[in-house]
Amino acid sequence: MEKTQNNKAWFLVLPVLVIVAFSAVIPLMTVVNYSVNDTFGENAFFWNGLGWFEDIITSDRMHSALGRQVVFSAIILAIEVPLGIFIALNMPKTGFWASFCLILMALPLLIPFNVVGTIWQIFGRVDIGLLGHGLAALGVDYNYTNDAFDAWITIIVMDVWHWTSLVALLCYAGLQSIPQAYYQAARIDQASRWSVFRFIELPKMSGVLLIAVLLRFMDSFMIYTEPFVVTGGGPGNSTTFLSIDLVKMAVGQFDLGPAAAFSIMYFLVILLVSWVFYTVMTTLDNAETK
């Protein structure tokens, strides 16, 4: 449809632009400033060009942290998205149990991040934790403080426990919006359970799933508090994800220049991947309407 274009409406965005500038862009400029300068304190800066960026890009430490981060996000998405869909499909649709399940599912989402970390830190301890002690009693050799594999398992299970609800609740909302007639029609057409999922439920959920995948990707890629509280990045560097490494660099070693360069690249990577996700999923969606 042809519509008259009037770009003057963009001026209405100006106030928001000003507010965002103060809340995000200007603080970010401080980081940009650090990333291209070297400083020994006392507000004395020495121009370093793209030196810090080169350092970070070629640093083995960064490469391995990035590798761990990518693997972590991939595992999280691979578990939480299908599991969330599965739970949503099996939740009661009406009545008391529907509300009960909704509240139960929402509970983990309401717990502060560092509290979640603390819960699991204690829960997994071999000496006093229910999980750790229980596993030990069963004869399982489990210790997240000195075994890298156990540490990974603990953090992944914790994240699944904490965030699968989000995916499930979003999918549940998507499922609830499907009119009953679709299911009746599918029964009349003798569609299999899989067909009902593939041709009715999944297409109707695709919108909320896009949001769920984006949120879970961004959150898991930026994860800091929970692994920091549980493992502190250890044992060794095995659970040192990007943000944990960043904090070590900036606050621990006080290497502000490299940390600033790192922050900017970190931000750009998340922006880029989110954009790719969004574009790929919406084009797939549009391709289907053609």
Q: Which residues bind other proteins (CB under 8 A)?
A: 179, 181-182, 184-185, 187-192, 195, 199-200, 203, 288-290
From residue 209, how far is each of 172, 215, 276, 284 by CA, in Å? 10, 10, 15, 13
Q: Which residue number, 203 or 235, has a Cβ lying nearer to other proteins? A: 203
The residues, any chain, with a CB within 8 Å of residue 229's CB and separated by 6 or more, are 114, 117, 118, 121
Q: By three-state DSSP, how is residue 46 classified?
A: strand
Other Cβ atoms closer than 10 A to 24 = 10
| Minimal distance, residue 188 CB to other proteins, in Å | 5
Q: Which residue number, 23 or 195, has a Cβ lying nearer to other proteins? A: 195
Structure tokens at 201: 């439920």
Q: Which residue number, 5 or 286, has a Cβ lying nearer to other proteins? A: 286
| Minimal distance, residue 180 CB to other proteins, in Å | 9
What's the rounded Cα separation, in Å, for the pair 79 and 100?
Answer: 24
* Short-list 209, 222, 238, CA closest to 83: 209
| Minimal distance, residue 98 CB to other proteins, in Å | 20
The residues, any chain, with a CB within 8 Å of residue 111's CB and separated by 6 or more, are 119, 162
| Minimal distance, residue 136 CB to other proteins, in Å | 50
Q: Which residue number, 138 or 181, has a Cβ lying nearer to other proteins? A: 181
| Minimal distance, residue 284 CB to other proteins, in Å | 10
Q: Which residue number, 182 or 278, has a Cβ lying nearer to other proteins? A: 182
* Short-list 206, 168, 180, CA closest to 88: 168
What's the rounded Cα separation, in Å, for the pair 120 and 131?
Answer: 9
Q: Which residue number, 49 or 179, has a Cβ lying nearer to other proteins? A: 179
| Minimal distance, residue 50 CB to other proteins, in Å | 47
Structure tokens at 103: 């509240």
